Amino acid sequence: MPYRLNNPIPLPLENLAPHPEHFFHPSRIHGQGHVARVIVHSFVLIDALGLEEHAERVWAAAYVHDIGRVHDGRCRDHGQYALARLPELPHVTSLLAEGGVSAEDWEGISVAVENHCRAEIPRTHPHWTLTAILKDADGLDRVRIGDLNPRYLRFPESRALVPFAEALYVETHKALRPGPGHFAALWTIAQRLLSCLP
């Protein structure tokens, strides 16, 4: 199956990922580059899984999932920290609304963000799909720390994207500098790499 990268959000590319100043603890491990790659993986998965109806919620969850981190170590509460940081960033909440996130969407976004760094929620949970997409998109970028185990990914489509995740990280982690143009540059590279997948 060919994988595609489409922008399901009605915003310019430069607005689709948080900028370095949005992070409480901007870093090379959990900063703009990581979150931008997670957003790319989210969009590819949404298309591959035929779950476009989740696009705005998955994008918002990926956008905010690490902005509240206080360090780069293991932390099961940094999803909560991210949500707690949002009142300090009203322009981010406004941007997410411009991108199509409604007030009713925040229940699912909050569940996904809080649980992306915790144990699995039951498949019967109403927000399991949203959380699983975020967990897999975030998990694919574990290639940056060398400990991605594809068996832990929830969807077969995610496991098929491991070579893409590796190539995207290798080609971008040193070549792209943080800043306003980061996501648009990443997008171009991601589209080229995706077109090479078998």
Helix axes 32-49, 182-195, angle to 10 degrees: 40
Residue 141 maps to a domain: yes
Question: How many domains are contained in the chain?
Answer: 1
Strands (E), the chain: none
Distance of CA 8 to CAs 119, 166, 175, 196, Å?
A: 29, 24, 26, 22
Distance of CA 154 to CAs 50, 123, 139, 140, Å?
A: 15, 11, 10, 11
Residue 8 maps to a domain: no
Question: Taking 80 as the threshold, does the pLDDT of residue 94 lie above it?
Answer: yes
Q: What is the pTM of this model?
A: 0.97
Copy the structure tokens of residue 143: 């290639």
DSSP codes, 75-89 = -TTHHHHHHHHGGG-
In tens, the pLDDT along 21-68 reads 999 998 889 999 999 999 999 999 999 999 999 999 999 999 999 999
- For residue 96, how many other CB atoms are within 10 A of its CB? 25
For residue 171, give the CATH number of its domain.
1.10.3210
Residue 175 maps to a domain: yes
Mean pLDDT score, 159-175: 96
pLDDT, position 1: 62
In tens, the pLDDT along 59-93 reads 999 999 999 988 888 878 888 999 999 999 999 99
Residue 41 maps to a domain: yes
> By residue range, what is the domain housing residue 101?
13-195
Tell me which DSSP letter residue 143 carries. Answer: G
Name every residue whose Cβ is closer than 8 Å to that of residue 125 and which is 6 or more positions away in sequence. 111, 131
Residue 114 maps to a domain: yes
Residue 4 maps to a domain: no
Residue whose token pair is 């900028």: 19
Residue 62 maps to a domain: yes
> CA gyration radius for the chain?
15
Residue 91 maps to a domain: yes
